[in-house]
Amino acid sequence: MTTPIGPADGSASPRFGGLTTFARLPRLDQVPTSDIVVLGMPFDSGVSYRPGARFGPAHIRQASRLLRPYNPALDIAPFDTVQVSDGGDIDLNPFDIHAAIESAEHAARSYADRGSRLMTIGGDHTLSLPLLRAAAAAYGPVALVHFDAHLDTWDTYFGAEYTHGTPFRRAVEEGILDTEALSHIGTRGPLYGKKDLEDDRRFGFGILTAADVLRQGVDEVVDRLRQRIGTRPVYVSVDIDVLDPAHAPGTGTPEAGGMTSRELLEILRGLAGCHIIGADVVEVSAAYDHAEITGIAASHTAYDLISLMAMDLAGQTD
């Protein structure tokens, strides 16, 4: 196995200098192949309230400069274990949501065809649909672990079928999700009506609310998720608004009463050993993010997801 090319050495090259790739990793064009590609999708034409997630990928990359190469919580140096690189941003049409979805799916499929897994940084939640389409094309219907304040299984907004509030309803309808292994974590706040929950249950989702996380604790939540996932290929989608606004003010549809960044990271770490085949972190709106609080949370979330995928890939080659 070729020794992976890692990030710039923070003890020799100041973290505040140089090109801003995720965690100061090499660019995709600087490595022969890449097991995991960090891919930016700057797009927010599907949002229903505050815009700004189109600037999320750049903001997350900037906040990721302080990440270091060894992850003690998972006991892995992901960038030494597998080749991880930054693939830059995909060009997505900001005026045509259908064209943007098509471009996102085409890009995701092209990486899957090369054998790369994606850690996507967004961008609004609309883009999870084309990413799931690409994942299902490679693996068949996949399990889903969805961290979010909201269900995102609504039908339409203003008659539009493709928005940041509809991706998982469309995914169920298209048959690209394994409906025996679907979970929402961290949901909270008012809904349009009780039918929202009834529809969601009909689609096959299990719900662990933010209050459930508080009352049951991280270990119980992890145990329930792992039982639901089993050995299936699983896609993890993280809307940063799953965090309380105190931990993630920079997002488009904040809701009070959310999880802490510590809870989110500990739940993710509890998925070590699961077959995670792709992930996204979305809905980071830089304009509302004072002191980079949201960007830091998002960059650490992506780092732990990369670590989990690296562990899975390393396990497959042992």
Which residue from 163, 170, 166 is spatially nearest to 136, judged by alpha carbons? 170
Q: Is 152 annotated as a binding residue?
A: yes
Write the CA distances from 211 to 204, 242, 263, 277, 304, integer angstroms. 21, 12, 12, 28, 23
Domains and CATH numbers, the chain: 22-317 (3.40.800.10)
Which residue from 288, 237, 303, 242 is spatially nearest to 66, judged by alpha carbons? 303
Output the six-digit token pair for 28.
Answer: 């995709």
Edge-to-edge strand list for the sheet holding 117-122: 84-89, 36-41, 117-122, 275-282, 233-239, 142-147, 177-187, 205-209
Predicted TM-score of the model (pTM): 0.98
Q: Is 184 annotated as a binding residue?
A: no
Q: In which residue are the tokens 């002191």 written?
A: 291
Q: Is 80 annotated as a binding residue?
A: no
pLDDT (0 to 100) of residue 2: 83
Q: Is 219 annotated as a binding residue?
A: no
Q: Is 280 annotated as a binding residue?
A: no
Ordered DSSP codes for 98-124: HHHHHHHHHHHHHHHHTT-EEEEEES-
pLDDT in tens, the chain (318 residues): 689 999 999 988 999 998 899 999 999 999 999 999 999 999 999 999 999 999 999 999 999 999 999 999 999 999 999 999 999 999 999 999 999 999 999 999 999 999 999 999 999 999 999 999 999 999 999 999 999 999 999 999 999 999 999 999 999 999 999 999 999 999 999 999 999 999 999 999 999 999 999 999 999 999 999 999 999 999 999 999 999 999 999 999 999 999 999 999 999 999 999 999 999 999 999 999 999 999 999 999 999 999 999 999 999 755
Q: How, if at all, do strands 117-122 and 275-282 pair?
A: parallel
Under DSSP, the state recorded for 198 is H
